[in-house]
Amino acid sequence: MHPYLAEFLGTMLLVIFGNGVVANVVLNKTKGQNSGWIVIATGWGLGVAMGVYSVGHISGAHINPAVTLAMAAVGNFSWAQVPGYILSQIAGAAVGSTIVWLAYLPHWKETQDQSLKLAAFATSPAIRNTPGNLLCEGIGTFVLVFVGLAISSPANFVPKSEVARGFGPILAGVLVWAIGLSLGGPTGYAINPARDFGPRLAHAILPIAGKGSSQWQYAWIPIVGPVAGGILGAIAYKALWKV
């Protein structure tokens, strides 16, 4: 499998699980309606783990443009592959959110709140404050990349066996779960430009019953914040550990 296809599929799976759990919690008349933030954070964490397990051995499972750019910025990834990875991630996220729309097809009409429909696709802040929203997304992605690099370090696998390495995707999922529980409240923790932009584009295009605005005026924040935070996280890790 080509790495670009792997990134497409990995990001698609991530969004199917992640936006799927949001739809299950926020849309009317689902079996999981109103089950809460812990369910959402858990679904996203497990979605990351499943995405990484599925394609990590092929593409490294960045499944996030902020991770791809951060790895390239510190010399861990080829700049020549960056455009292909990012386009594949955005496309995978858009297709993943389209699949969620189809899975919950009867429930969009049953849900009157337009903001809840958008929440099942893209993020929006609890309090709209541009500096605060940018900072929160930057901090969350800094933690994602910094700790993610630590998780993937060979020094953390003792003994250095295939079984031990198999825990890596689960730990990546636990990391995203922790970020959601601890830092997700202000902005909904996109921490991934593709996860937000691709589904937001799908929201704008799809014939979702009574969908309302896609809120493009906010869309740049879950792009700029994660990219900046991810690059800083990678630089900090490399500087501290001299790797």
* 164 has a pLDDT exceeding 60: no
Q: What is the DSSP letter of 111?
A: -
Q: Are the CB atoms for 32 and 25 separated by under 8 Å?
A: yes
Number of domains in the chain: 1
Residue 22, burial from CB neighbour count under 10 angstroms (0-12, 13-18, 19+): buried
Q: How far out from the chain centre does Cα 224 lie?
A: 14
How large a percentage of the chain has pLDDT more than 90?
91
Q: Distance (Å, rounded) from C-alpha 151 to C-alpha 33?
A: 34
Tell me the pLDDT tens digit for each residue of 115-160.
Answer: 999 999 999 999 999 999 999 999 999 999 999 999 887 766 555 5
Q: Distance (Å, rounded) from C-alpha 162 to C-alpha 203?
A: 41
pLDDT of residue 1: 83
Kindly report whether the peptide bond that precedes residue 159 is cis, defined as omega within 30 degrees of 0.
yes
Angle ∠(135,61,155) on CA atoms, nearest 5: 85
Q: Distance (Å, rounded) from C-alpha 242 to C-alpha 238?
A: 5
| Residue given tokens 């066996």 in the structure block | 161
Tell me the pLDDT tens digit for each residue of 8-25.
Answer: 999 999 999 999 999 999
Residue 186 — pLDDT band, cuts 50, 70, 90? very high
Q: Distance (Å, rounded) from C-alpha 231 to C-alpha 50?
A: 24
Q: Kindly give, in sequence order, each residue whose CB lies less than 8 Å from that of residue 123, ignoring residues fewer than 6 positions away.
A: 187, 188, 189, 190, 196, 222
Question: Cα-Cα-Cα-Cα dihedral of 230, 164, 59, 12, to 10°?
Answer: -80
Residue 180 — pLDDT band, cuts 50, 70, 90? very high
Domain of 223 in residue numbering reads as 3-241
Residue 53 — pLDDT band, cuts 50, 70, 90? very high
Q: What is the CATH number of the domain that holds 58?
A: 1.20.1080.10
What is the token pair recorded at 177?
């779960």
Tell me the pLDDT tens digit for each residue of 198-235.
Answer: 999 999 999 999 999 999 999 999 999 999 999 999 99
pLDDT of residue 159: 52
Q: What is the DSSP letter of 175?
A: H
Residue 165 — pLDDT band, cuts 50, 70, 90? low
Mean per-residue pLDDT for 60-67?
97
pLDDT of residue 153: 79
Q: Distance (Å, rounded) from C-alpha 42 to C-alpha 64?
A: 18
**Where are the strands (E) in 113-165, listed by range?**
none
Higher pLDDT among residues 1 and 148, named by residue: 148
